Structure 1
Amino acid sequence: MIVSMKKLLVFGTENNRKAILEKLQEIGVVHVVPASQEELKGHVDTLEQQEQVARAISILGSFPDKKESVENLPENTVNDIVSWHNTIQKYQEEQNELNKRKEALSMWGAFSTSEWDELQKHGVHLQFVKVSLKQLSQLDSGRIAYKKQIGKDVFAAVLSHKEQYELPDCAQLLPIKKGTVELDREIQELQQKQDELSTKLQQAVVYLPLLQKQQQALQNEQMFCAVESQLLCEQDVFALKGYIPEKQVETLQKEMQSVTAGIMVEEVDGEDDPPTLIQNPKWVQSVVDLVKLYASPGYKEWDTSSSIYLAFTIFFAMIVGDAGYGCILLAIMLGLTGKLKSSEAGQRVYRLMLTLSIGCIVFGAISGNWFAIQMSEDNPLKQFQILGTSKSEEQNLNNMMMLSVYVGAVHLSCARLIQIIRVFPSVFWINQLGWLIMMWGAIAKILWQNDAGLTALLVGAVLAVLFASDHRNIFMRFLLGLLDLLGITQNFADILSYLRLFALGLASTVMAKIFNDLGMQVRDVSPTFGPVLMVLVIFMGHTINIVLAVMGGFIHGLRLNFLEFYRYCFEGTGYDYKPFAKKAQV
């Protein structure tokens, strides 16, 4: 549910400003509203320091942790860490460039340019040239000491005595300043320098906890400066406007008694735009992160968490559609319990995936789908099967299709009912009721072959047209109603969109059956290796299938909520509640 907020005004004198703000930040329950339209920003110097510290933490995070601890952080540690890292990157770039040059010279073998100087002292000149294969004959073959063809080009080492051989125009002289020996030496020197700096970074890991504390202190300072720069100031008096959860008002008033400040708490009125704070039971709260993927509900809207928690679980279970897959997901989550429960976000993921896993097991059990294995009538798992019990496969498929349609109709009906509650007592609630009657009237006529459905369809259409607008002009009201009625195609298209639940679930089952059949076929290939190949094919096949099924469950399960469902009852105009609070120290 969306937590009720109160409007807050805190004011005091300029002399007490710092003490008041520090106390508010310590309590950490007030969402500050900027006095101007500018975004809350801290001092530039603080932001730059925070970026440097964050970068240093990121650099040290790539090294193995050390159990030793230190109490003091030496001066310039942050700058040293960043500088060492930048220097290592610079050396790596130089090393890569040298390796490229060495690779280009590899065709000539290992050599040193210092050897050329000795040759020149004895009147021997060495030239490295490149010439096309067609023009190779223009070179004096007697002077070619070594040659190698690469594609349509020939690379050659040309020797001459006393006087340097004059190359023909077709030959391109390759300038070589350093040989592979010199390049190897430079590469080793750069590697040695990198190792030395890496050792220094490894030794600096002991400062990581202190750097994290410094980062949090800078974040607190940045937020303090940002709030301080956005106060309402008039001579020696300042004021701070914000919002506070209703349940925290008493705590705030009690804690603020230690400082000299005035506090005014008011009800939120129609012109206010408070932030949105969503608090639900921990299992429902696990879906809040998914809700915010699309948008945060406005303060005056409704919390969609409960509806998405239930609907998304059903959609995910229908798309994955296999109890065996649900058991695998459940086992993975139980295996990751320790890691996931170490953080608040991890706990939400853990609870959500447990819910989805159990949903898959339940739906897979009632549809009789366990790794797409054909079960005999005396199988104990068969007693849980409710869906797909007809002897006709075609009838079973039709029943699953109809189930998807009814799930969509019920889901969209809930959206209409929610909208009726939201807009009541304005005339628009009758418009929404008309759409609801019209939808079920069409279902009764088309699917149930009930003539009363046509009457309901017409009645609903009349209500939808007449109450689509509250315009005083009857003619304009009627025209606006007709325009609203054009949405009937979209409404029924949205219902049919829920057929993806059937289609994706069927695709997952068919894929599982195919991999099972492939596994049984390869088993007969060889008495020795056949069983091993069977296990590998079935394991890899089901692994791929479960990954695709889970991806489809998330993507399409959320899509049905965010597009089809939200279209009729949700605007998402809110913004998150972010209190002016200190970061918890490490």
Structure 2
Amino acid sequence: MSVARLKKLSLVGRAAQKTETLEALQELGCMHVLPLVPLPAEPEKVSERGARNAYKALRFLTDVPEPRRQIQRDRDFDMNKFVKDVLDLMQRSREVTDRRDFLAHRISQVRPWGDLDFPPDDVLAGNRLWFYQLPLKHRGTLEALTLPWAILEQDHRFIYAVLIAPDEPDDDILPVPRTHTGSLPIHELEAQLEEAEIAIEALEAERVAQTRYLTFMRRNLSVAESAAELAHATQKVRDEEAMFALQGWVPEDRIDALLDMAESKNAAVLIEDPGPDDTPPTLLEQPEKRSAAVDLALFYQVPGYRDWDPSIIVAASFAFFFAMIVADAGYGAVILLGLLLFWKRMEGTPALQSWRRYGLIIAGATILYGVLVGSYFGVAPREGSILAGLKLLDLNNFAAMMMVSIVVGVLHLVLANALAARAAWGQRRAIANLGWIAALIGGFVMWLSYMKGSAATPGAILLGAGVLAILLFSSEREMKQPIDWLWRLIDGLKGLAGAMGAFGDVLSYMRLFALGLASASLAITFNDLAVSVMQAMKGPGILFALLILIIGHILNFALAMMSGVVHGLRLNYIEFFKWGLPDEGIVFRPFARKEVQE
């Protein structure tokens, strides 16, 4: 499989058939719509893809711990109206809850001064009351004031005082800021608090009542998502008097279906090949059973339209790297057991089924590599046994394992450059990629020759040829003037500057050996510690040994899983993509109707 070839399709139709045409196009689900008009300047007017409001309302209702019995039949159910009602209820609940919290906080602030009834302004001759919570140690500052003051309450820490003045006193009149108590007495605040709590109960009852429609909401989410998708696409359409126009990218194998639809709507269509300045989106053509591989490939970076499909290679290499990092057949069996426990739950959608199959591949690769290195929860197989005969690699043989890691690194980067050269064939940079292949292999052969003490001539020749190819073909600059030769050589020297990066990238694969050794060593350490405790403590030693084994291997398993995922992906996304996918694209997002959920 590969990156799908696309055509740019422009469609013009009558304004009266705009909605009908867009709905038919959405039914086909094969166009990545391009904007022909700028989006509204106001963010709130921009229609978003996906039914965000519907999902927000659904989460609001699903948080109810005990939903009501579900209504199964209601012909008058209107998804859009119901979502608006739920969002309105959510907003009112938030406002009343904020009001309740504010009143509770205000009461806690006012209570130390007592339940005061504030006099009218004319009684105080234009003066007002200003409240302060003053630590006892600052009582002297209060007595030194020229303004009238009084102490209303006092405890073992604070003096609750009130100052009388027509205007707010200066901030430095006392060493503490004034307390904002408002103008309402406690009994009035408590009455409002009670009203707010009653309102919250009423709103909560309304919320519980609306949970009767949770099943309807889940069934109609696809309707809400389709409506949001249609609104989003509509904002990209250009309207001119009695006509409308839209433009987008369509896979070549869907052109005929779209032409039939356009003919049925009396619309005019223009089909164009991608131009050199166009940036078509990337659509990876893979069957649904491989959607897990596509998800892995697109997680970090979308390949450019003119690049190649990395999904299968990334999926295979990640499983291999993960197995090398975990390096234990017992841990692989645990992964397999966990996968089997959740097997039924992962058959709902083709995507989940794909991840289930990929989980089997990862578990199988981990078990196989664990058998090859002879590690079963850190225990080596007994000499002379069948499992001992299957052990082909020794993690404690540092020289051999370093060699394996470097070979894996060289092969991975060679594969990346080979695929990049294939995608760019006909351009000079394809020769540069072949040069990097020669340089990587030549450098590796020279290192082997040095390790064996033999002549390094073949490797040096291959390395020199690779360097020359990189120097001469790294630039796509046209030869219009004699000076362009100089610029091409400068570009070639810039390309050769990546030699140190290539050396570092190859050495990055040493983490496969290092992390695998660390995982195996930790497992052996916990095993030895458990045996030592069991031998030292004859009675309860068995219990403590079991605890050490269980806790230790759970910890080591978690670290191995984390290392396997992070570093297994990193070697693909950083090192491999750097050499194999130099360009980054945008993902193909079809304007399509969402599937109805049963």
TM-score tier by shorter-chain length is 0.7 to 0.9
1:451 to 439, 447, 456: 456
- Displacement of 1:413: 0.8
1:308-347 equivalence runs, <5 A: 308-347=314-353
Distance 1:131 1:428 in 2: 77
Give, as a single letter, the amino acid of the residue that structure 1 aligns with 2:71. Answer: E
- Displacement of 1:561: 1.3
Structure 1 residue 82 corresponds to structure 2 residue 87: yes
Quote the residue 2:56 is aligned against: 55
Quote the residue 1:558 is aligned against: 569
Q: Taking structure 1 as reference, are residues 38 and 92 closer, same or farther at Cα in structure 2, changes over 3 Å only?
A: closer
Distance 2:365 2:337 in 1: 14
Give, as a single letter, the amino acid of the residue that structure 2 aligns with 1:465. Answer: L
SS of the equivalent of 1:448 reads helix
- Displacement of 1:426: 3.2
1:496 to 507, 513, 517: 507
8 Å CA contact retained: 1:7, 1:266: yes
- Displacement of 1:527: 4.5
Quote the residue 2:414 is aligned against: 413
1:89-238 equivalence runs, <5 A: 89-90=94-95, 92-93=97-98, 132=136, 153=157, 193-212=199-218, 216-238=222-244
SS of the equivalent of 1:207 reads helix
Quote the residue 2:32 is aligned against: 31
2:558 to 540, 547, 552: 547
8 Å CA contact retained: 2:71, 2:213: no
Give, as a single letter, the amino acid of the residue that structure 2 aligns with 1:397. Answer: F
Q: Taking structure 1 as reference, are residues 435 and 275 closer, same or farther at Cα in structure 2, changes over 3 Å only?
A: closer
SS of the equivalent of 2:449 reads coil
Q: Taking structure 1 as reference, are residues 96 and 541 closer, same or farther at Cα in structure 2, changes over 3 Å only?
A: farther
Q: Taking structure 1 as reference, are residues 318 and 205 closer, same or farther at Cα in structure 2, changes over 3 Å only?
A: same
Quote the residue 2:442 is aligned against: 441
Q: Taking structure 1 as reference, are residues 351 and 155 closer, same or farther at Cα in structure 2, changes over 3 Å only?
A: farther
Question: 1:279-308: per-residue Cα shift (whole Å, max 9, x none)?
Answer: 224454312222222221122111111111
Quote the residue 1:159 is aligned against: none
Give, as a single letter, the amino acid of the residue that structure 1 aligns with 2:9. Answer: L
Question: 1:122-176: per-residue Cα shift (whole Å, max 9, x none)?
Answer: xxxxxxx98648999xxxxxxxxx9986xxx4899xxxxxxxxxxxx99x99999
Distance 2:570 2:4 in 1: 27
Distance 1:219 1:228 in 2: 14
Quote the residue 2:71 is aligned against: 68
SS of the equivalent of 2:254 reads helix
Q: Taking structure 1 as reference, are residues 90 and 235 closer, same or farther at Cα in structure 2, changes over 3 Å only?
A: closer
8 Å CA contact retained: 2:47, 2:231: no
- Between the two proteins, the alignment pairs up a number of residues equal to 547
8 Å CA contact retained: 2:307, 2:420: no
| Greater mean deviation of Cα atoms: 284-293 or 408-417 | 284-293
Distance 1:451 1:26 in 2: 64
- Displacement of 1:556: 1.2
Give, as a single letter, the amino acid of the residue that structure 1 aligns with 2:86. Answer: I
1:249-398 equivalence runs, <5 A: 249-255=255-261, 258-282=264-288, 284-388=290-394, 393=396, 396-398=397-399
Distance 1:311 1:336 in 2: 25
Quote the residue 2:402 is aligned against: 401
Quote the residue 1:166 is aligned against: none
- Displacement of 1:572: 4.0
Q: CA RMSD in A?
A: 4.3
Q: Taking structure 1 as reference, are residues 271 and 336 closer, same or farther at Cα in structure 2, changes over 3 Å only?
A: same
Quote the residue 1:124 is aligned against: none
8 Å CA contact retained: 1:322, 1:360: yes
TM-score by length of 2: 0.78
8 Å CA contact retained: 2:289, 2:351: no
Question: 1:55-93: per-residue Cα shift (whole Å, max 9, x none)?
Answer: 322211212454333333489654553344445445555
Distance 2:412 2:236 in 1: 45
Distance 1:404 1:271 in 2: 41
TM-score by length of 1: 0.79
Question: 1:527-580: per-residue Cα shift (whole Å, max 9, x none)?
Answer: 453323222221122112112211111211111111111112213432222222
- Displacement of 1:368: 0.8
| Greater mean deviation of Cα atoms: 272-281 or 499-508 | 272-281
Give, as a single letter, the amino acid of the residue that structure 2 aligns with 1:321. Answer: A
Quote the residue 2:517 is aligned against: 506
- Displacement of 1:438: 2.1
- Displacement of 1:497: 0.9
- Displacement of 1:17: 2.8
- Displacement of 1:492: 0.7
Q: Taking structure 1 as reference, are residues 583 and 174 closer, same or farther at Cα in structure 2, changes over 3 Å only?
A: closer
Structure 1 residue 427 corresponds to structure 2 residue 432: no
Identity %: 27
Question: 1:202-261: per-residue Cα shift (whole Å, max 9, x none)?
Answer: 221122344456654454344334434433455534333222222223333445554333
Q: Taking structure 1 as reference, are residues 213 and 47 closer, same or farther at Cα in structure 2, changes over 3 Å only?
A: farther
Give, as a single letter, the amino acid of the residue that structure 1 aligns with 2:70. Answer: K
Question: 1:183-206: per-residue Cα shift (whole Å, max 9, x none)?
Answer: 999988766654443232122112
Give, as a single letter, the amino acid of the residue that structure 2 aligns with 1:35. Answer: L
8 Å CA contact retained: 1:42, 1:222: no
8 Å CA contact retained: 1:34, 1:40: no
